[in-house]
Amino acid sequence: MKTANAVSADETEKTAKAAKPAKTSSIRKRRIAGTVVIYIILTIISIIWLIPVVWVVLTSFRAEPGAFTSNFIPEHWTLDNYKSLWANAVFPFKAWFFNTLWVSCISCVISTFLTLSVAYVLSRLRFAFRKPYMNFALILGMFPGFMSMIAVYFILKAVGLTQNLWALIIQYSAGSGLGFYISKGFFDTIPRSLDEAARIDGATNGQVFLHIIMPNSGPIVVYTALMAFMAPWNDYIFANVIMGDNYNKWTVAIGLYQMIQKNNVYKYFTQFNAGCVCVGVPIMVLFFCLQKFYVAGVTGGAVKG
């Protein structure tokens, strides 16, 4: 016969075994409930974020003129807003679009090269004042770019480069080297043994950069290029200050803003929305096509600083 202590131990063990599934089930239910709440919140935020975007797209197909209507969904649909936008002689959107595309593409190439070059030097090479320079660049990057707007304008004016697309390219490319931190973080994750093996074979720093680092840095190259392309594509402040009243050299940001001024808003508001869609489509296509590399570049560059 079992003793009283043995019986008590058996009962305690059975009670513990019965309580364990109940506890596990409770934890699982709390996790599921938490996940459901998170998804509900994210869904609500997504809907709130998408409402203005959907409204702009719908308005671009609206036949009724004017800035405001009582209906969220247009009563009459048309493609004339897009046709008129690209054929408009008063507001030459076509010229502005290709001006912006030209500036963005050239700035993207130059800025990407400068950013990655600076990141490589600070990641792989060791020299005097390296860390002070990185600290100085970090502090300088905390100040918004428009604080230098007036100084940049007068410098460009002194050398005769205002109201010129090359002035915008210089402006967007000149300070790109300060954005090296994410790229440097990514380069820090690449084993140095690759560099050492290449140098043993007689490779120079430039050859290591082009033939060793770059082929292993696809995500960060894509990320850097996307950021370099989007900056001039979306910029209004510097473009407006530098280009002034050179009508045919405006970018889409300046031109679209002029379309919704008081004297023009009633007639051109639907065309303005069509222009917003045309400007947003290239960025959206690029992002969705390169999203995998973009995310890999951000996460890889955040590993080390």
Cα–Cα distance measured from residue 21 to residue 120, given in angstroms and rounded to the nearest whole number: 54
The pairs formed by 26-35 with CB atoms below 8 angstroms and a separation of 24 or more are none
Given a cut of 90, is residue 300 above it in pLDDT?
no
When comparing pLDDT for 117 and 287, which is higher?
A: 117
How many Å apart are CA 287 and CA 119, to the nearest integer?
Answer: 23
Residues of the chain with pLDDT > 70: what percent?
88
Assess if residue 270 is contained within a domain: yes
pLDDT in tens, 199-253: 888 888 888 888 888 888 888 888 888 889 988 998 888 888 888 887 788 899 9
The arithmetic mean of pLDDT across residues 114-123, rounded, is: 90
Per-residue tokens: 163: 């109201």
pLDDT digits (tens, 9 = 90+) for 11-51: 555 555 555 566 677 778 788 888 899 999 999 999 999 99
pLDDT, tens only, 139-156: 887 887 777 888 888 888
Domain presence at residue 77: no
- What pLDDT, on a 0 to 100 scale, did the predictor assign at position 169? 92
* Residue 184 in domain: yes
pLDDT of residue 133: 86
Q: Taking 60 as the threshold, does the pLDDT of residue 118 lie above it?
A: yes
**Sequence-ordered list of residues with C-beta below 8 angstroms from that of 170, at least 6 positions apart, any chain:** 156, 161
- 139 occurs within a structural domain: yes
Residues 179 and 266 in one domain: yes
Q: Is 221 part of any domain?
A: yes
Q: For position 101, which CATH number holds?
A: 1.10.3720.10
How far apart, in whole angstroms, are the C-alpha atoms of residue 271 and residue 96? 14
Same domain, 117 and 47: no
Q: Residue 7 pLDDT more than 70?
A: no
Q: Within this chain, do residues 91 and 152 fall inside the same structural domain, yes or no?
A: yes
Query: In whole numbers, what is the pLDDT of the chain averaged over residues?
Result: 83
Residue-number span of the structural domain to which 18 is assigned: 1-60
Residues 160 and 33 in one domain: no
Alpha-helical runs (H) found in 61-148: 80-87, 93-124, 130-141
Closest CA relative to residue 176, chosen from 240, 103, 225: 225
- Given 9, 30, 60, the domain boundary residue is 60
Cβ-contact 168, 104 below 8 angstroms: no
Instruction: State pTM to two decimals.
Output: 0.79
pLDDT of residue 14: 54
Residue 224's closest CA among 117, 140, 103? Answer: 117
Between residues 23 and 56, the one the model is more confident about: 56
Residue 214 is predicted with a pLDDT of 86
293 compared with 204, residue with greater pLDDT: 204
Residue 303 has pLDDT above 60, yes or no: no
pLDDT of residue 304: 45
18 and 101: one domain? no
Number of domains comprising the chain? 2
CB 258 within 8 A of CB 133: no
Are 214 and 89 a contacting pair, CB within 8 Å? no
Q: What confidence tens digit (pLDDT) does each residue in 58-78 have?
A: 999 988 888 777 777 888 888
Instruction: Classify residue 76: in a domain, yes or no.
Output: no
Does residue 72 form part of some domain?
Answer: no
pLDDT (tens digit per residue) in 99-108: 999 999 999 9
In a 10 Å sphere around its CB, with 0-12 CB exposed, 13-18 middle and 19+ buried, how is residue 134 labelled?
Answer: middle
What's the confidence (pLDDT) of residue 295? 58
Calculate the alpha carbon distances from 46 to 34, 60, 273, 293 in Å. 18, 21, 21, 23
Same domain, 47 and 133: no
- Residue at 197 is within a domain: yes
Q: Are 54 and 145 in a shared domain?
A: no
**Model pLDDT, residue 301:** 46
CB proximity list for 302: less than 8 A, separation 6 or greater: 182, 185
Say whether both 199 and 143 belong to one domain. yes
